Chain A
Amino acid sequence: MIMQEQIKDASYDVLVIGGGIAGGEAALNLANNGFKVLIVEKDLSIGGKMILLSKVFPTLDCSACITTPKVSEISRHPAITIFTGSEVKKIVKIAENSFEADVLRYPRYVIAEECTGCQLCEQACPVIVKDEYQFNLVGRKAAFIPFTIASPKVAAIDIENCTLCGACEKVCPPKCIDFTQEKEEYRIKVKSVIIATGFKLFDPLLMPRYGFGLYKNIITSMQMERQLAPTRPFNTILRPGDGKVPCKVAYVLCTGSRDATIGNPVCSQICCMYSIKQAQLLMGALPMADVTIYYLNIRSFGKGFEEFYEQAKGMGVNFIKGKIGKISELENGNLKLRYEDINENKVKESEHDIVVLSVGVIANLDTATFFSEQQLKLDSFNFINQTDPLASPARTSINGVFVAGTASGPMDIPDSILSAGSASSEAMCYLIQKK
């Protein structure tokens, strides 16, 4: 129970919820134009999904190299305050240009200002758990730095798994591990709010016919993404079942998208492209590998995308227009795909040694919890409803609350960045005009 007097007050011009690329970009735009911003990020690091990606389509530039300079600019900016490991509990709109948000900061059990990121605590910690930042491909310690390019790059103690053995405390040179930290509650006054809470990945356990979770050599595209990233868990591409380097890779597109039977009729807009990207990177990393992409339609619609698709075909990636019926496992751990080959109008089977499910973009339902007194409308797919999508795409059903990035629907990085520009621009007008 937190006492009323422990609640800390603070005020900013704009509250940005979510520190992914969209939230970060919006915050920078505002701060560079002289507004004070608070970013509330649920995770231990800002950067969202993008900071964890390998290279990005369609230019194939390294995602970390684009994200890290942005992230460090955000964290260094004098007009931006960042709360990581924090959540917005409730926002109330009191009047135009006046919102009150209750924010909860969870303890990290490390004095962030003093931690030097030396990783000694990590080495000392005896507890090993699954590493969520590597999408469970490998393990991490209970005292850990989320990932090498995390921002802030400081340790945290995963208190749920920590055995309180104190090993980390002993080795920490600046003595910054502090098990006495407690939750802190803030009451934040702001004039405008930008929601940039991003998206969730479709959970393929909801499609049992694909056998994800049952068969070890079926992974999600995000797990493959990690294997291809510069901060990758292994030094090469491995299939999780037996650590073998795969040579026949299958991609199953539209997993969890364009399918009303699983409740998501819309196209996720990014999975065709990221699969084509991964296929190209795989051909580079494993020159002997065969990569086959099973698709319904290839949606390479953006600037340079069609050319990128053609490039993949030119490199020898196989594209099969086909619907996957069922996936089953063979004795050697390989997988048998039963599919309808649409070009040939036949049901066929094929064998692969690893299957990547190109999982879709699902709405992040956290957005439904922010407002209790005003209604923040969602659309029929549970993304934030854009009340004037053609003329003012960042507007929501609450005046003064704007949406940036994939919180309003599937989008790739370039579109997320433009959407963030749009949201920050509208917020600036709202602040200046006081309307």
Chain B
Amino acid sequence: MNNKLGVYICHCGGNISDYIDVEKVRQSVENEEGVFLAKTTMFACGDSNQKEMVEDIKNNHLDGVVVASCSPKLHLLTFRAVTERGELNKYNYVHANIREQASWAHSDDKAGATEKAIHIVKAAIAKVRFAESLVPIKISSIKSVAVIGGGVAGMKAAIELSDLGCQVYLIEREYFVGGRVSQWDSLFTTNETGKELVTRLYNDLVKQKNITVYTGAEVISNSGNIGDFKLKIKITPRYIKAKCNQGELQNAIDVCPVEVPDDFNFNITGRKAIYHNFPSEYPQSPVIDIKNCTRCGACEKICENVDFTQKEEIMDINVGSVLMATGFDPYTPADGEFGYNSFDNVITLPQFKRIIDLSNEKLTFKGREIKNIAYIYCVGSRQVEGENKYCSRYCCTSAIHAAIIAKKKFLNIYNFHFTRGIRTYGKQEVLYDESSRMGDIYLQSYENDPPVVTGRNDKAVVRINDILTGKREMEVEADLVVLVTGMVPRKDNSVGSLFKLPKGRDRFFNEIHMKLRPVETVIDGITISGACQGPKNIMETANSALSAAAKSYSYVSKGELELEPIIARIDKDLCTWCNACAQACPFNAIEMEEGKTKNVASINNSACKGCGMCLPVCPTDAINLIAYSNNEIESMIDALAG
């Protein structure tokens, strides 16, 4: 029990003393048990008072300090620091809020406010008597980070982390890095191609000594916590030897008899069972798609680099932090949605991007030349009926940009945009201007009256009641209908569940706070970046990746982390190990510990967040939260009731 307390009551200029009789408060508390000195001060936070407090604490060897002033959100840390400068452990400081919760809240009732302030200060005194000196929980943190996903976000973050001196494991589920961006040709707003951008990043990546890239790899389990996550990674083999002869391999690809739809090209073309997405892909080695391979052995005969003996591997890695960069999937329209899969010239924007890339001189699809193109916007986004209420943010700009590129690359292209109001925000607006100047036609549908796609001969007809021309019904016969599909979370997002990452209303991974902690998750040590957190273009992806990298770096850079020691504590005598607390704990911080006579609960100090959810469930009241123990709370209640 602390018995030599210093109590300071602040006037706060007049903010407090205009409504509260500060001197009366002082007199009412100076004789409370344990109080050694009680003073009033004009500004407790002012430099002069801080100095005086430091002297008081030192000279009198105070063992507890209370300041009654403004809200603890403003100055709790200030006075903890003062306490520490007075050579007293900072957890022996308790804050009493008599401004926001007394003088201001009851500025209409001075007597009532004064009475309340007296009780609040007494409660703080009661609490500080039980305060203990605590040391922050120090845990060591491994200076390495696992980056999950090797798209732009993951590659950029990995390079950054490595530059900062961390060991990085880049874990990519596909056999090639680059993510979605490697699928796009010309990019807004620079017109660099996706391949060029990925090549640039990959060249930076391989220069780094401390990045290990795993492709065909997935995290299959996680245990451990911030500072020391223990991950198991499953690596599926390429069935190709590491050093290989590209020429021979090309021959092997040629002879493979199996052909399957190529999902890199969104199934508009096919590929072999031994394949690469495009010749300059990274890493520059093909892969055998073992699910579709018939083991006919044709490739093996031609090329000695093929190696069917390679085995799946399980790797264990330990990292201090995990950075998620698993990206998005393009929305897949339902059958019949705007004629998708009903008419064979209705495709999605990602497919259209691939067709532009794959066509030379003439824009053709399924052998037919394309002239009139109708773009239907917001497919899978801003749904009136469906559950995707959000705007996918990239797609207006991307569709307009693709339309401009098509018009520039090929002759006789006519673009008709069926929009829901164009959202080329910021500087992207100039693309919208450019396309309007190039003669593209813009139409806009009503929220509840989307365009309708029907067939006529071998064309699709798109019909709309157009807002921009005053509800006129307009019709376009299109050679190609491009559904401007939005972004949705990855279909297989199981890695999120593995780490218990919460999802937002839009089902993308959720940050703690959009403005205060935009790349952190509620799971300490795990950051999120890029399109897995929500739709983003590449610039926004890079910004979020760099922010997440800096955050992850801060968890591991010092090799050590300090956590607040406000955690749960088990009274082993009372505990009967009923498991109720372990089930209530949202952070898996409670485990069973085998004792000599009985099993008891035990708190993992580095996992416990001090929420207290375990307290009320314990049938024997064996758990207390440090600084909020029964003693503390009940004696505060006594003081407030008195």
A343→B547 CA distance, assembly (Å): 42
Contacts of B381-421 to chain A: CB distance below 8 A: 382, 389-391, 393, 421
Query: Are the C-beta atoms of B514 and A59 separated by less than 8 Å?
Result: yes
Q: Which of A27-48 contact B (CB under 8 A)?
A: 29, 32-34
> Is A299's CB under 8 angstroms from B425's CB?
yes
CB atoms of A421 and B547 under 8 A apart:
yes
**B interface footprint on A303-317 (CB within 8 Å = 1, 0 otherwise):** 111110010000000
State the Cβ distance, B247 to closest chain A Cβ, in Å. Answer: 32
A428 to B549 CA separation, bound complex (whole angstroms):
11
- Asked if A393 is at the interface of the complex by the 8 Å CB criterion, the answer is yes
Q: Which chain A residues (406-435) contact chain B, with CB distance < 8 Å? A: 409-411, 413-415, 417-422, 424-426, 428-429, 432-433
**A105 on interface, CB distance cutoff 8 Å:** no
Distance, CA A117 to CA B12, complexed state (A): 9
Does A69 lie at the interface of the complex (its beta carbon under 8 Å from any beta carbon of B)?
yes
A114 to B48, CA, bound (A): 8
Chain B residues with CB below 8 A from A268, complex form: 426
Q: Is the CB of B540 closer than 8 A to any CB of chain A?
A: yes
**CB pair A422 B543 closer than 8 Å:** yes
Q: Within the complex, which residue of A33, A302, A392 is in contact with B550, where a contact is CB–CB below 8 Å?
A: A33
Cβ-based interface call for B597 (8 A): no
The CA of A433 and the CA of B160, in the complex, are separated in Å by 11
A429 (CB) vs chain B CBs: closest residue:
B163
Interface pair B391/A418, CB less than 8 Å apart: no
CB pair B43–A116 under 8 Å, yes or no, is yes
B543 touches A414 (CB 8 A): no
Tell me how many residues of A have a C-beta within 8 Å of chain B. Answer: 75
Closest chain B residue to A72, Cβ basis: B74
Nearest CB on B from A342, distance (A) = 6
The one of B42, B429, B550 that contacts A266, using a Cβ cutoff of 8 Å: B429
Residue B606 interfacial (CB < 8 Å): no
A residues less than 8 Å from B73 (CB atoms): 69
Interface of B, secondary structure class, is loop
CB-CB nearest in chain B for A305: B391
Q: Confirm or deny: B578 has a beta carbon within 8 angstroms of a beta carbon on chain A.
A: no
> Are B425 and A424 in contact (CB-based, < 8 A)?
no
* Chain A neighbourhood of B382, CB < 8 A: 306
Say yes or no: is A201 at the interface (Cβ < 8 Å to chain B): no
B539-555 contacts to A (CB < 8 Å):
539-540, 542-544, 546-551, 553-554
Are A114's CB and B47's CB within 8 A?
Answer: yes
User: Quick one: CB contact mask for B524-535 with A, threshold 8 Å, 1 for yes?
Assistant: 000000000111
Task: Report yes or no: A432 in contact with B422, Cβ–Cβ below 8 A.
Answer: no
Does the CB pair A119–B13 fall under 8 Å? yes
B391, B433, B538, B543: the one within 8 Å of A265 (CB): B433
B433 contacts A391, CB within 8 Å? Answer: no
Q: Say yes or no: A410-B426 contact (C-beta < 8 A), given A116-B43, A393-B542.
A: yes
CB distance from A434 to the nearest CB of B (A): 11
B77 proximal to A (CB < 8 A):
yes
Which chain A residue shows the least CB distance to B163?
A429
In the complex, the answer to whether A306 meets B391 with C-beta atoms within 8 Å is yes
Interface status of A267 (Cβ within 8 A of chain B): yes
Could you give, for residues 243-264 of chain A, a 1 whenever the CB lies within 8 Å of some chain B CB and a 0 otherwise?
0000000000000001010000
The complex places the Cα of A212 from the Cα of B156 at a distance, in Å, of: 47
Cα distance, A98 to B209, chains bound together (Å): 27
Q: Chain B contacts of A266 at CB under 8 A?
A: 426-427, 429-430
- Residue A173 interfacial (CB < 8 Å): yes
A167 within 8 A of B: no
Asked if A390 meets B539 with Cβ closer than 8 Å, knowing A269-B425, A303-B504, A421-B551, the reply is: yes
* B638: interface (CB < 8 Å): no
Chain A minimum-CB-distance residue to B197: A390
Q: Which partner residue on chain B sits nearest A118 by CB separation?
A: B13
Q: State whether A425 touches B539 (Cβ < 8 A).
A: no
A200 within 8 A of B: no
Bound Cα distance A389, B537 (Å): 11
Nearest residue, chain A, Cβ from B160 = A425
What separation, in Å, do the CA atoms of A303 and B388 have in the docked complex?
12
User: Is residue A381 within 8 Å, beta carbon to beta carbon, of the partner chain?
Assistant: yes
Chain B residues lying within 8 Å of A119, measured Cβ to Cβ, are: 13
CB contact under 8 A between A303 and B467, given known A414-B515, A424-B550, A426-B546 = no
Nearest-neighbour CB distance to chain A for B165, whole angstroms, equals 7
Contact A267 B425 (CB under 8 A): yes
**What is the CA–CA distance of A60 and B128 in the complex, to the nearest angstrom?**
36
How far is it, in angstroms, between the C-alpha of A409 and the C-alpha of B428 when the chains are bound? Answer: 11
Interface readout for B503-515 with A: 1 if CB under 8 Å, 0 if not?
A: 0111010000011
Question: Cα distance A417–B18 when bound, in Å?
Answer: 39
Q: Give the segment of B186-194, B334-342, B448-456 that binds chain A.
A: B186-194
| Docked complex Cα distance between A224 and B390 (Å) | 28
- With beta carbons under 8 angstroms apart, the residue of A299, A343, A346 that contacts B467 is A343
| A411 contact set on B, CB distance < 8 A | 426
Instruction: Let me know if B78 is at the binding interface, CB within 8 A.
Output: yes
Cβ A76 vs Cβ B546 within 8 A: no
C-alpha gap A269/B428 in the complex (Å): 10
Instruction: Name the contact of B427 in the complex, choosing from A381, A413, A433 (C-beta under 8 A).
Output: A381
Asked whether A32 lies within 8 Å of B421 as measured between CB atoms, the reply is: no
> Is B463 in contact with chain A by the CB < 8 A criterion?
no
Given A266-B429, A389-B189, A390-B192, residue A321 in contact with residue B467 (CB < 8 A): yes
B540 touches A415 (CB 8 A): yes
Q: How far is the CB of B622 from chain A (nearest CB, A)?
A: 35
Contact with A along B557-576 (1 / 0, CB 8 A): 10000000000000000000
A113 within 8 A of B: yes
A307-B389 Cα distance, complex, nearest whole Å = 7
From B164, B393, B427, contact of A429 by CB (8 A): B164
Q: Which of B42, B46, B508, B548 has the most CB of A within 10 A?
A: B46
Do B549 and A301 have beta carbons less than 8 Å apart? no
Quick one: closest B residue to A310, CB to CB? B389
Contacts of B514 in A (CB 8 A): 58-59, 303-304, 414
Cβ contacts under 8 Å, A301 to chain B: 391, 393, 423, 425
Cα(A343)–Cα(B382), bound, Å: 20
Min CB gap B359→A, angstroms: 24
Cβ-based interface call for B519 (8 A)? yes
Would you call B468 and A342 a contact (CB within 8 A)?
Answer: yes
Q: Which of B163-212 contact A (CB under 8 A)?
A: 163-165, 187, 189-190, 192, 197, 200-201
Report yes or no: B540 in contact with A418, Cβ–Cβ below 8 A.
yes
Q: List 6 A-B contacts (CB under 8 A).
A: A58-B514, A69-B73, A300-B391, A301-B393, A345-B470, A421-B550
